[in-house]
Amino acid sequence: MICLVALGAVPQGSESPTEAVRGTVSRVIATLEDPVLKDPAKLIPRRRVLEEVIAGRFDYAEMSKRSLATYWTPLTETQRTEFVELFKRFLSDRYAEKIEGYRGEQVGYLSERIEGTYAEVRTELRSDKTDIPMDYRLILKEGRWPAYDIIADGVSLVKNYRSQFQKIIRESSYQELVNKLRDRTLSGEEKAKL
């Protein structure tokens, strides 16, 4: 089931890209299978735990930079910080919604490819009905392999959002994109404070 193909060396003392993905996926599944957190009344605490696990593994700054592409460069540090935080919250919400539908599917680890400081871990989400390819793209930073893109069934998360974000910016403005992200991530309580 597991076939690792490494095309480059991993710096000593660091985890391998596959270990990074496997560790995070295992923590996510353990959270979803936790009998205490399965209680529907525990939706918010479960989401927070999932967000914490995911946030520890994703490089949201890199994802933001790649999603905005050329629109990233002219941003001030303050704008970049704000965008990364909004995008992080937006992705955490979307990812948590999707993975809460977990019904005991198995994850197969197919291969690992390393080229310099970049890696790709190919996995497959297997159920009785279908197999969905899930590839994780990672970047080596400080001995760790955080993810900067996920390709689910051939669709890149970063490219998908880049296309959407560029359309909003071209048709309106960067500020409109920020407003849309803010509206989609803030709770009613947080909106009331603004």
Residue 39: predicted pLDDT: 82
- H helix runs in the chain, sequence order: 17-33, 35-38, 43-55, 60-68, 77-99, 157-171, 174-185, 188-193
Residue 45: predicted pLDDT: 85
Q: How far apart are CA 26 and CA 33, in angstroms?
A: 10
pTM of the entire structure? 0.81
Q: How far apart are CA 91 and CA 181, in angstroms?
A: 10
pLDDT in tens, 31-90: 888 888 888 888 888 888 888 888 888 999 999 999 999 999 999 999 999 999 999 988
Whether the pLDDT of residue 192 is over 70: the answer is no
Whether the pLDDT of residue 9 is over 70: the answer is no
pLDDT in tens, 117-146: 999 999 998 888 888 899 999 999 999 999
H or E element in which residue 121 lies: strand 118-126
